[in-house]
Structure 1
Amino acid sequence: MKKIITALCLSACFSPIAFASSPDFPHIEVSGKGEVFVVPDMAQFSVDVVENKATAEKAKQAADKAVTGFLARLEVQGVKRENINSGNIRLTPEYRYPKGKKPELVGYKAIRNITVTVLDLNKLNGYLDKALGDGINRINHIELKTSKEKEYIEAARLEAIKDANDKATSLAKGFGTAIKGVWKISYHNNYSQPVLMKSMRMDMASDASESYQDTQMVISDSVSVVYRLKD
């Protein structure tokens, strides 16, 4: 009689993948998962420059001026231009809607988004203080990351492989048999979970530094394996 053992990885956040075809020899299907907890060492934050003026030209000029001033403040602090993405400008008309009357054009809104990559997390709060100035009164988001993501993904992958091997060996032994080899491997995409901080207003920036000092992010990986059992 053919022996088939199926193991469910209870710690995983998904059900084991159904394999397209089942081998005609004794086998066991196992899912393994690996996780690495990492302290972030870099960050990325985004701000919007918003200007409302009577004409589209004046709105654009005001937004460009605010962006130029912000970039100059960052440059003084040592931020390289390649770590700044100033984005494209968006110009939209602004209307007033009097009751019972046609909409009235009252001006134009210019919006420019700027994303800054911070390679030294210790400098993040200083950059945030400099970000909030003329034309910039809100930081959209702060995303904490790690500069060694590839290294940690590899570590999580090795943990997932070890987890699958340990489960398969233990289950096979419990049913009075042993692993003979690997028949099929299905690899799942790795998952890096950045830490997203809340957006903040100008009066909140000074309190931001305490919120990310001991934060951890999770990098995980998973794999499904069909092992051949001894006959």
Structure 2
Amino acid sequence: MVQDDIACPGADRPLACRRHPMTSRNDVQEQGTRFMSLPSRAGRALAISLSGLVTLAQPALAQPAPVAEPRLITMQGEGQAAANPDLAVVTGGTQIQARTARDAMEGNSRIMRAVQQALREVGVEERDISTSALSLQPTIEYQQNTNRPRVVGYSAGHQLTIRVRDLAKLGDVLDRMVTAGANQVDGLQLTVSDWSKKVDEARAAAIADAKRKASILAAAAGARIGRVMRIEEQGAAPPRPMPRMATAQAARADAVPVATGDQNFRMSVTVTWELVD
């Protein structure tokens, strides 16, 4: 038995509204519901896709703009400061021979006590007198027939390091040492006692030199130097003491002329500035 057609709006009767054999009104309505629900599902899928695109695009839009790197100028500077030496370092002492080790050590000690007393009398302070070396060695001879070594005596040595802070007394110090019995004056060095101040002066001069040259180049390029970005220092060691040769024979002279001269303290720096308009 065929049921009547289902009434549908409009002149045309869509496929979903047409009656199918052996179908009821409820079946037709259920099919129509499934058919009409397809566009709604597709719309929801499209909305989800668009929402995802917007979400993915948000991080890219939130990134900050790149910051331009500062313009820099790097320049090296040299500086120096001169100073006249005010300290003399003398090394000298005694070296004696004796038949026994005891005699060598006792004889050496007796002479060194006299030398140290003479240094104190000429104005050298106790803190400026120190023992820098002490030695005792056997004296060896080889027999002619057997070539065997034989101890024939002992040699004792005692070396002092003396700091003379008043260079006007240097000649007198050397003379009194030798007169008291010192038979070795190994050397003399002239230096600056407080060299750190001169190094600081050389540092300041090096910075000023680098700044002067950087300012000239920046002005030629239509800019000027701004804040300091980096400073590097090359070399901060004190100058080596100036050696002066001295011997016990020379120290016996009536006058020991000592030409001190100047010592130069040199520093080098590398400075980086920011360039500004």
TM-score range, shorter chain: 0.7 to 0.9
Contact 1:144 1:194 in 2 (8 A): no
Q: Which has the higher contact order (CA 8 A, sep 6+)?
A: 1
Q: How many residues end up aligned between the 2 structures?
A: 207
Which one-letter code corresponds to 2:237 in the other structure?
Y
Q: What residue is the counterpart of 2:136 in the other structure?
A: 91
Contact 1:194 1:218 in 2 (8 A): no
Q: What residue is the counterpart of 2:171 in the other structure?
A: 125
Change (3 A) 1:92 1:176: farther
Contact 1:141 1:196 in 2 (8 A): no
User: How many Å separate the matches in 2 of 1:171 and 1:180?
Assistant: 13
Change (3 A) 1:178 1:51: same
Report the RMSD for the aligned CA atoms in angstroms: 2.3
Change (3 A) 1:66 1:174: farther
Q: Does 1:184 align with 2:234?
A: no
User: How many Å separate the matches in 2 of 1:135 and 1:207?
Assistant: 17
Q: Which has the larger radius of gyration?
A: 2
The SS at the match of 2:238 is: strand
Which has more helix, going by share of residues? 2
Change (3 A) 1:36 1:98: farther
The SS at the match of 2:123 is: coil
User: How many Å separate the matches in 1 of 2:228 and 2:140?
Assistant: 67
Q: Say which of 59, 72, 84 aligns to 2:104.
A: 59
The SS at the match of 1:200 is: coil
User: How many Å separate the matches in 2 of 1:225 and 1:163?
Assistant: 10
Contact 2:191 2:242 in 1 (8 A): no
Q: Does 1:210 align with 2:257?
A: yes
Change (3 A) 1:63 1:29: farther
Which one-letter code corresponds to 2:132 in the other structure?
G
Q: What residue is the counterpart of 2:72 in the other structure?
A: 27
Q: Does 1:37 align with 2:92?
A: no
Change (3 A) 1:46 1:208: farther
Which one-letter code corresponds to 1:139 in the other structure?
V
The SS at the match of 2:199 is: helix
Q: Which runs of 4+ in 1 moved over 6 A?
A: none
Q: What residue is the counterpart of 1:140 in the other structure?
A: 186
Q: Does 1:76 align with 2:121?
A: yes
User: How many Å separate the matches in 1 of 2:254 and 2:217?
Assistant: 52
- For structure 1, which segment, 28-37 or 190-199, has the greater mean C-alpha deviation from structure 2 after superposition? 190-199
Q: Deviations over 1:17-73 (max 9, x none)?
A: xxxxxxx64322222221111112221111132122222222211221121011110
Percent same amino acid among aligned pairs?
Answer: 27
Q: What residue is the counterpart of 1:7 in the other structure?
A: none
Q: What residue is the counterpart of 1:230 in the other structure?
A: 276
Q: Does 1:168 align with 2:235?
A: no
Which one-letter code corresponds to 2:136 in the other structure?
L
Q: What runs of 5+ residues in structure 2 fail to find an aligned partner? A: 1-68
Change (3 A) 1:85 1:176: same
TM-score by length of 2: 0.67
Q: What runs of 5+ residues in structure 1 fail to find an aligned partner? A: 1-23
Q: What residue is the counterpart of 1:153 in the other structure?
A: 199
Q: Does 1:110 align with 2:156?
A: yes
Give the superposition deviation at 1:113.
Answer: 1.5
